[in-house]
């Protein structure tokens, strides 16, 4: 089997696995939507490699390059990894 085909099969399996998580994703989405509509700040935390993911998610809420949209109050709590290591 070619590497391309293997990669496509793995991707399809990952997408199928996500279908099991739709309810959880909708639940989190509703919580975020409510918090942002109420003017609350959303804090995202990640440690190690997930710290990068937290920063990436926060930057997506702040707006993408070339898009003109409202900045949302989302903060990534990964600026001080010493603190995260201590409390995590």
Q: In the predicted model, is pLDDT for residue 50 greater than 90?
A: no
CB distance 36 to 70 below 8 Å: no
The reply to whether 48 and 68 lie within a common domain is yes
Domain boundaries, position 55? 41-88
Largest CA distance in the chain: 52
Instruction: Please give the backbone phi and psi of residue 84, each rounded to the nearest 5 degrees, phi first.
Output: -60, -40
Mean pLDDT confidence for 12-25: 89
The reply to whether 33 and 76 lie within a common domain is no
Per the prediction, the chain carries an average pLDDT of 83
The reply to whether 61 and 76 lie within a common domain is yes
Please state whether the predicted TM-score (pTM) of the whole model is above 0.75: no
- Predicted confidence at residue 24, as pLDDT, reads 93
Burial class (CB in 10 A: 0-12, 13-18, 19+), 54: buried
The reply to whether 49 and 88 lie within a common domain is yes
């Amino acid at each position: 089997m070619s590497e391309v085909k293997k990669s496509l099969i793995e991707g399809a399996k990952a997408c199928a696995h996500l279908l099991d998580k739709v309810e959880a994703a909708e639940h989190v989405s509703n919580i975020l939507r409510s918090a942002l509509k109420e003017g609350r700040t959303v804090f995202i935390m990640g440690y190690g490699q997930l710290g990068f993911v937290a920063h990436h998610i926060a930057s997506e809420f702040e707006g993408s390059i070339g898009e003109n949209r409202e900045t949302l109050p989302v903060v990534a709590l990964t600026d001080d990894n010493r603190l995260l290591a201590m409390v995590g």
